[in-house]
Amino acid sequence: MNKKAVKFLMTWNVRPGKEEAYLEFITQEFSDMLTKANLQPTEAWYTVYGDWPEVMMGFMAEDLDALRRFLVSESWRDLKQKLFQYIKDYQQKAIPLGRGFQM
């Protein structure tokens, strides 16, 4: 079967008053855990203007099956639970891997 890489996109807003703890968590634990799960970071965007989610992060998975295995793992469940302490309005989706900014 032909494996095609996919991009895992997540968007959210940071909870007011949680900015410092959120930044520490994202830089010291969140991205590292995804990288250890063989998801490679592709981008991180921070919205400073407009009515859009405050944060968008993208990670590349080897293929859709690999991403699905990760998304049902206990490690993802635990990491996401920690993330939700700092954020709100979370959304996620998988899309075919492309170049540049994708939504």
Q: pTM (2 decimals)?
A: 0.88
Domain 6-96 sits in CATH at 3.30.70.100
From the list 43, 40, 36, the residue with the least C-alpha distance to 63 is 40
- Domains of the chain, residue spans: 6-96
Q: Quick one: pLDDT at residue 98?
A: 74
Question: What phi and psi, each to the nearest 5 degrees, are found at residue 97?
Answer: -65, 130
Q: Is the pLDDT of residue 1 over 50?
A: no
> What tens digit of pLDDT does each residue of 60-88 get?
999 999 999 999 999 999 999 999 999 99
Q: Which two three-digit tokens encode residue 92?
A: 């996620």
> What tens digit of pLDDT does each residue of 8-66 get?
999 999 999 999 999 999 999 999 999 999 999 999 999 988 889 999 999 999 999 99
Q: Quick one: pLDDT at residue 11?
A: 97
Q: Is the pLDDT of residue 2 over 60?
A: no
| Rounded Cα–Cα distance for residues 2 and 5 (Å) | 10
With H, G, I as helix, E, B as strand and everything else as coil, classify residue 17: coil
